[in-house]
Structure 1
Amino acid sequence: MAAHRHASGPPTEELLRECARDVVDVAEGIREVCARTSSVLFAPALTASARRRPRTGCAARWALLRALTNRQGLGGSAIVAPDGMGRLLGAAGEALGRESLAALVAVTSLRLRIAAVLLDHPEFGRDPGMRRLTAAVTADRDLEAVRALRSLFKDRDAQRALSGLAPILAELLAIRGLLGEDPVNDETAWALAAGRELTADPVRGISAAHPSAADRDEGTVQAVEPSARETQGIATEGSLLAFLRNLDVLDVGGRVLVQEVRGPDGVLRYVVQAPGTATGRPRDDSPQDFADAWRNLFMTDSPYTRSILLAIRDHGVPRGADLALVGHGEGGIALLNLAQDEEFCRAYRVTHVVTVGSPIGGRRPADPRTWVAGITNHHDIVPALDGRDADSSFDPHPHGYRADYTGPDHEFPHCHLLRVYMDHLETVIPQVTQDVDQALTPYRGPVERTRVYRFEDRARPPEGYPLLTVPTTSVPTSAGLVDVPVRYYDSSVAHLCYPVDTGVARSLLPDVTSMVPARFGRRALAVLSLYEHRCTTIGPYTELGLSVLVDDLWRPNAYGLARDLLRRVDLRRTGRYVVSLAVGTEEARTVAEEVWAQPAVQGAAEVALQGRALRVEAAELGLSVEVGPGPGVRCPEADWVLYGRRGDSTVRTLVRADGRPRVHARPRVRLRLDGGHGPLARHLQILELDTVRPGFVLTSPRFVAHRSAGAPLPR
């Protein structure tokens, strides 16, 4: 066995992890005290003594019961008893929300682990969906946690959402199990918290929305021909870097590679090469996705693992043949699962398993002669997804090799990319390459046959069907090509609608005679829109926008708005002119200005719409909002026409939405302007919106929508 580490000293995140391990040891000690105290409470000898001497015996049992259930003691759900009254009392404590002291201490350990991840990778904490999920789980809000988790899985790009979810998913699920009311989850949650092997299926052991529940298909394989470019890149000679380059050529398109290699001794051997997790949310066309990767962590049976086995059989690998398994990320996990299968190892002789960026944990192959190598970058969080420490989780055996190194690439998911690992194997840790190639000597020969196999799942409706299944086109911007219409798979919004002075509202509009505010009696209507976009085709971001309702540009009419609301959005003549906009990302700002012609600035903000409470904190923009919308009633979908201005033209954008909007007639709102100097704060000050209450509020805690490209109008 070998280990490699290049580090000058323990950084702060490692100290946090060490502290987390110490705290969870304390939690398990408290749990043992609970178990011993419970055994004494329900011991037959004490029960008999209480019957013989009720005065002293009952007092003793009452003292033990109070110690186990009191909030100042071991906690309301600290009773540990296999059945009978003890189990009933423990379940009652769970239902009443009186968590045990041991569980609360374990949750502290898990929060320390999450803090270590966020300290080492601060990019995760900037994702609004991740913040929403973490807050909901740690506050024990089940419904909100389920919604947040579902929204993360609907993200178009896993690099934006799932990469942030992956490193702390084990901790979040463990917190959910420890704080939840279902005692069935306790053992699984404690195993995740303590880094032990799971004794329960995490799908059933933790009843929160679990990613592997989204992937139940059996999976099939089909031999396919690689493209001409891929054929040129596939290696014709066996070596570690050659096999990894093959995986890089295949990328993550739901395919694996089986090669026949003639070794130096003239024996024909087989190499199975499995790539890592495919980008994007859980896929409908392949079992090679994040949900299946999580399932692979805790169960040796999964669609990806079964599909690899089908590919081996379809290739015609003879029984008893020598096999080497080489995988990256999820592919490495699936191959390790195959190596643990006794029936598989009886059919084939698995001589080598080489994983790059995969969680090895305590996995041991069924054949003790199998040589297992694990190569991990210390900054790569994927190898620690199973909740076990990267340094101590690997179970050494006579045929094991481990290389855990500190590479120059720090940011996740970049440090997990196979191409980065290949570069490090050539430049940072060349000795590891030599060691593994030495072990793979029987496979260092010419490749005589190569077959590529594609995995497939049964078909499902596309995500966002039917509203978001629309034709798209690419529009060039300074930030690159952007697909329009822009689709919003999971968002929340609150529209604060203020009656304002018509003259003041007119002063915020462009100086063109065709654009005038729509009137409600003697007042105009200004709308402050507060969005949290958790999953979109341009990434998650927050959006704060101020707009003014305007009349038909050609035929203004005092009663035109009422009639217009009865029309389809594409036939409406009225709309909202966007006066100022603040968005959370540079890409969103570019799209707003260049595609929709809306004046936008970039500014960080936190928007949280949960139940009947809305909170917005935007220190950079100098404003904060707290809203208690109050009672509301359902209203029609809030499709809108938005106007912007570019040169001498007005740009018209259509927004179609699908959700469950509600209108609130008596909202309680506190809008504070804390010395902000940006355009949004300045326009809010001009309208004096911090001194008045909105006339009504429209809210939609969860909706999908799409915004078309802006169409210029000659006015």
Structure 2
Amino acid sequence: MRADGHVPGRPTPVGQDARDALRRCARDVMEVAEGIRAVSERTSTALLAPPLTATARRRPRSGLAAQWALLRALTGRRGLGCPAVTAPGGMGRFLGAAGGVLGRESLTALVAVTSLRLRIAAVLVDHPEFVRDPGMRRLTEAVGARDTEAVRALRALFRDRGAQRALSGLAPLLSELLAVRALLDENPCHTDTGWALAAGRDPSAGPPRGAGAGRPAGPERGEGAAEAVDLTDQEKQIIATEGSFLGYLRNIEVLSTDGRVLVQNVRGPDGTVRYVVQVPGMAPGRPRNDSPLDFVGAWHTLFTTDSPHTRSILLALADYGIPRGAELALIGHGEGGIAVMNLAQDEELNRAYRVTHVIAVGSPIGNSRPADPRTWVATVTNQHDIVPVLDARRADSLFDPHPNRYEADYTGPAREFPLCHMLREYIEHLRTVVPGVREDVDEALTPYRGPIVRTQAYRLKDRANPPEGYPFLTLPTSSVPTTTGPVDVPVRYYDSSAVHLGFSVDSDAAGGLLPDVTWLTPSRVGRRALAVLSLYEHRCTTIGPYTEIALSVLVDDLWRPRPYDVAADLLRRVDLRHTGRYVVSLAVAGEEARVVAQEIWGQPAMRMTAEADLVGPDILVGSRELGLGVQGRLGPGVRCPQADWILYGRRGESTVRTLVRAHGRMRLHRGSGLRLRLDTGAAEPLAGPLRRLGVTTGRPLFALSCPQFMFHRSAGAVLPR
């Protein structure tokens, strides 16, 4: 702590004042919205009241005039726009849709959008780096428009499945998004729970119906299932054999986020066998699969204790054979922490077992109370972790603190998200930054500190949803070890955007960028070759979301180069092609992506930060670290097949051939609308090759765009040359 009382890593007093002021304003604005909603409800009730209807029949002149005045107050442009809440029945639904038909938005919805703007601003005071997130960018663009345009843009955003994947990383605003989605729902009869969330009250009936808790990618109607599975030999070597707080957290890290949970027996110091359930969370940007540990399931897990996630865990406990009355500890990270807290609230579970401990790490468990008041509840949160902002008691929330629980809210050394939410970071912080917290929790877990007697993993399933990307991305995988841990290949990309810029370059200059081997030559058309600058925005992949910028050169067949073989290759299946693109330089905005590119695909990758917007016709990509920017507008284009392709790299003295299969709608454009910019001081590893190719400032020959597509990259095949 500094002499001025400021703790390093925490918001400055000025930042705290600004955040608190924005939070208070958001609360005040929401109170105004609630008042308007109450007026709308009373007005619509009066309009449809039987006495007024009877008066209108008896005295049409005065009665109809009164009804007309109320109707204008509800739907008029200078009134309430349209009722946020209407009386039930057909007429109520008609009035609720009247404003939308007339192109008007309710005053309540407009005020709610204003509150959302203030909440976003409060979150960004502490997390300015989050502006780079593609989902946040689309959200801020929507709420930054004029009021009526913002409401319509938000409605479109909630209906866009691609945007939902991008919004899956917006954990700090999820509760606000749910509440506002409820307010903007065209059905005005399903907003009560959403209003409770927006106003800071505990929801009374599960997820907000108006918010469409299951709507990000379809209704969540899974029954839940659990299947006992074996751990791999490598995992068995890492799983803890002695019970401890860090040991249980490391077990959760081993499980990753592939839909598994772990149940263990531990023999305590008193000789009694107790049981520990360990539940991982949902990593930002991870794809949905047939497991309830996905973004769609998270909406339900957050707002209702009865979800496919919790039902699946209960089935796993039943299969494990825990005797009735046994003592049980529940430990979870992220979404897993929410799930274990939901389990602790289950009356039936508490009748079957004695739930002694609930520990949530990096989880927004809010004011939830376990069914058994004797249950010890602990939460461990990093102040830079934006996921626990969903917790109504955090600084950016509108709720009051909840007493009678152990809470450790510390300041970690890293601010970058999602790094600060990763469990490995929490484990390191508990070991080095806040060892006192680890000691406190270990002391509370004394009955569960002893030798592990039995370990069983369960894969949770959701029978309602097919795997994400089905059927294109449902293919067999294998695990490949890397320095950052095992990676499943092929690497699957569930939601990406791409723009490929083709430049005609001198063939000798292109050959100078290739490895110094005689059999690797650029594909020539006369004295010219083709260089491709590929820009990617990967929003949802099996190695996390990241931005990618790659420079490659088209090369001939490594064994039998033929003239114009590139054109002939377009008629061949991708796995039978002779030519491909040699990756000269690669920059990615993710550590795991960098390691995979280097160690599996043999590509010279570096890590960087970049901003990319490749979804619409206006293209914007920029990286200060690389000194590179691409900006412009795509003109008219023609549909062309989604081209699979071959990528080449080098690993030692061998060439690595990677097959890429894609599925999407690609368009071919003239490159005149786009411009490449290189800073004068920019050098290696990307600006240097571009300068040697003569591509410094200028427009590409053509551009291939695909605003949304899926693809997968195989493990690199090592060629003997």
Shorter-chain TM-score: which interval? 0.7 to 0.9
Per-residue deviation, residues 540-561 of structure 1 (Å, max 9, x unmatched): 3323445554555776655433
Identity of aligned residues (%): 44
- Distance in 1 between the 2:433 and 2:700 partners? 62
Look up the equivalent residue of 1:413 and give its one-letter code: H
- Distance in 2 between the 1:325 and 1:450 partners? 15
SS in 1 for 2:512: coil
Partner residue in 2 for 1:234: 242
- Pairing of 1:655-694 with structure 2 (within 5 A): 655-664=659-668, 669-671=673-675, 673=677, 677-678=681-682, 683=690, 694=701
- Pairing of 1:145-156 with structure 2 (within 5 A): 145-150=160-165
- Distance in 2 between the 1:577 and 1:260 partners? 57
Q: 1:318 to 1:548 in 2, by over 3 A?
A: closer
- Pairing of 1:472-551 with structure 2 (within 5 A): 474=480, 487-497=492-502, 500=504, 504=506, 506-510=508-512, 515=521, 517-519=523-525, 525=530, 527-547=532-552, 549=554
SS in 1 for 2:457: strand
SS in 1 for 2:201: coil
Would you say the 8 A contact 2:610–2:622 is kept in 1? yes
- Distance in 2 between the 1:196 and 1:395 partners? 13
Partner residue in 1 for 2:457: 454
SS in 2 for 1:370: coil
Partner residue in 2 for 1:630: 636
Q: 1:690 to 1:65 in 2, by over 3 A?
A: farther
Q: 1:75 aligns with which of 75, 81, 102?
A: 81
- Pairing of 1:22-41 with structure 2 (within 5 A): 22-41=28-47
Structure with larger Rg: 1
Per-residue deviation, residues 431-472 of structure 1 (Å, max 9, x unmatched): 9659x84xx9xx859979955443234597697766674666
Q: CA deviation at 1:606?
A: 3.0
Partner residue in 1 for 2:146: none
Provide the TM-score with structure 1 as the length reference: 0.74
Q: 1:712 to 1:627 in 2, by over 3 A?
A: farther
Per-residue deviation, residues 227-272 of structure 1 (Å, max 9, x unmatched): 986797424xxxxxx5674454565631123557687xx9x79565
Once structures 1 and 2 are overlaid, which stretch shifts more, 665-674 or 62-71? 665-674
Would you say the 8 A contact 1:493–1:700 is kept in 2? yes
Q: CA deviation at 1:638?
A: 0.9
- Distance in 2 between the 1:286 and 1:619 partners? 36
- Distance in 2 between the 1:216 and 1:293 partners? 13
- Pairing of 1:242-641 with structure 2 (within 5 A): 242=244, 245-246=247-248, 248-249=250-251, 253=255, 254-259=261-266, 272-277=276-281, 281=286, 294-306=299-311, 308-310=313-315, 321=325, 323=327, 325-329=329-333, 330=335, 333-347=338-352, 358-366=363-371, 369-377=373-381, 379=383, 380-385=385-390, 400-403=404-407, 405-408=409-412, 411=415, 412-414=420-422, 419=427, 423=431, 427-428=435-436, 437=444, 450-457=453-460, 469=475, 474=480, 487-497=492-502, 500=504, 504=506, 506-510=508-512, 515=521, 517-519=523-525, 525=530, 527-547=532-552, 549=554, 559-576=564-581, 582-585=587-590, 604-610=609-615, 613-618=617-622, 620=624, 621-633=627-639, 635-641=640-646
SS in 2 for 1:202: coil
Would you say the 8 A contact 2:615–2:707 is kept in 1? no
- Distance in 2 between the 1:294 and 1:36 partners? 32
- Distance in 2 between the 1:387 and 1:299 partners? 15
Would you say the 8 A contact 2:558–2:578 is kept in 1? yes
- Distance in 1 between the 2:238 and 2:590 partners? 36
State whether structure 2 residue 201 is matched by structure 1 residue 196.
Answer: yes
Q: 1:269 to 1:425 in 2, by over 3 A?
A: farther
- Distance in 2 between the 1:581 and 1:425 partners? 35
- Distance in 1 between the 2:708 and 2:449 partners? 59
The alignment covers a number of residue pairs equal to 674
Q: CA deviation at 1:492?
A: 1.6
- Distance in 2 between the 1:125 and 1:492 partners? 19
Partner residue in 2 for 1:703: 710
Look up the equivalent residue of 1:456 and give its one-letter code: R
Partner residue in 2 for 1:238: none
Structure 2 unaligned regions, length at least 5: 1-6, 144-149, 256-260
Q: 1:676 to 1:580 in 2, by over 3 A?
A: farther
State whether structure 2 residue 115 is matched by structure 1 residue 100.
Answer: no
Per-residue deviation, residues 329-388 of structure 1 (Å, max 9, x unmatched): 455544443443344444556566565655443434445x53553434362555553656
- Distance in 2 between the 1:496 and 1:197 partners? 51
- Distance in 2 between the 1:104 and 1:469 partners? 46
Would you say the 8 A contact 1:382–1:416 is kept in 2? no
Q: 1:196 to 1:451 in 2, by over 3 A?
A: farther
Q: 1:687 to 1:663 in 2, by over 3 A?
A: farther
State whether structure 2 residue 180 is matched by structure 1 residue 175.
Answer: yes
Look up the equivalent residue of 1:661 and give its one-letter code: R
SS in 2 for 1:81: coil
- Distance in 1 between the 2:650 and 2:318 partners? 62
Q: 1:252 to 1:96 in 2, by over 3 A?
A: farther
State whether structure 2 residue 90 is matched by structure 1 residue 90.
Answer: no
Partner residue in 2 for 1:239: none
Look up the equivalent residue of 1:234 and give its one-letter code: E
Partner residue in 2 for 1:159: none
Would you say the 8 A contact 2:597–2:605 is kept in 1? yes
- Distance in 1 between the 2:459 and 2:479 partners? 27
Look up the equivalent residue of 2:565 and give its one-letter code: G
Per-residue deviation, residues 206-236 of structure 1 (Å, max 9, x unmatched): 336447956825333659899986797424x
Provide the TM-score with structure 2 as the length reference: 0.74
